[in-house]
């Protein structure tokens, strides 16, 4: 029979490892919870001043309640992934499609 103190210590070690994993991943955020400037800055790894610039340009989706700015995680993800850079293959494919649709007239 094992020593009950050893069992307790093993369980405590597992709990500590779980806590470390959770804290390394950050707080569990819900999709619908609004983010403020600080949370958004950490999420997209951009400075708060850059985020203020994006909001003043109107290029990032945001909500303003009084003097505070709020952002929805789902809308931020959509905004991030709308600026895809085309690969050389995509550009060649689009050029071939354009040439096929608009043949040269002599």
pLDDT tens-digit profile of 60-100? 999 999 999 999 999 999 999 987 888 999 999 999 999 99
- Give the pLDDT confidence score for residue 30 in this predicted structure: 59
44 Cβ neighbours under 8 A, 6+ residues apart: 51, 76, 80
- Give the pLDDT confidence score for residue 27 in this predicted structure: 55
Mean pLDDT of the chain: 88
Cβ burial of 60 (10 Å; 0-12, 13-18, 19+) is buried
Mark 3-23 as b/e (b = at least 16 C-beta within 10 Å): eeeeeeeeeeeeeeeeeeeee
Cβ contact 79:61 at 8 Å: yes
Assign a CATH topology to domain 30-101: Arc Repressor Mutant, subunit A (1.10.10)
Q: Note if the pTM is more than 0.95.
A: no
């Amino acid at each position: 029979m094992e020593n009950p103190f050893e069992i307790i210590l093993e369980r405590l070690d597992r709990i500590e490892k779980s806590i470390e994993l959770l804290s390394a991943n950050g707080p569990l955020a819900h999709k619908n919870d609004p983010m403020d400037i600080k949370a958004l800055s950490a999420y997209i790894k951009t400075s708060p001043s850059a985020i203020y610039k994006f909001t003043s340009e109107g290029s990032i989706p945001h909500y303003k309640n009084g003097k505070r700015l709020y952002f929805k995680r789902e809308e931020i993800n959509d905004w991030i992934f709308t600026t895809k850079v085309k690969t050389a293959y995509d550009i060649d494919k689009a050029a071939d499609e354009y040439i096929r649709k608009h043949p040269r007239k002599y």
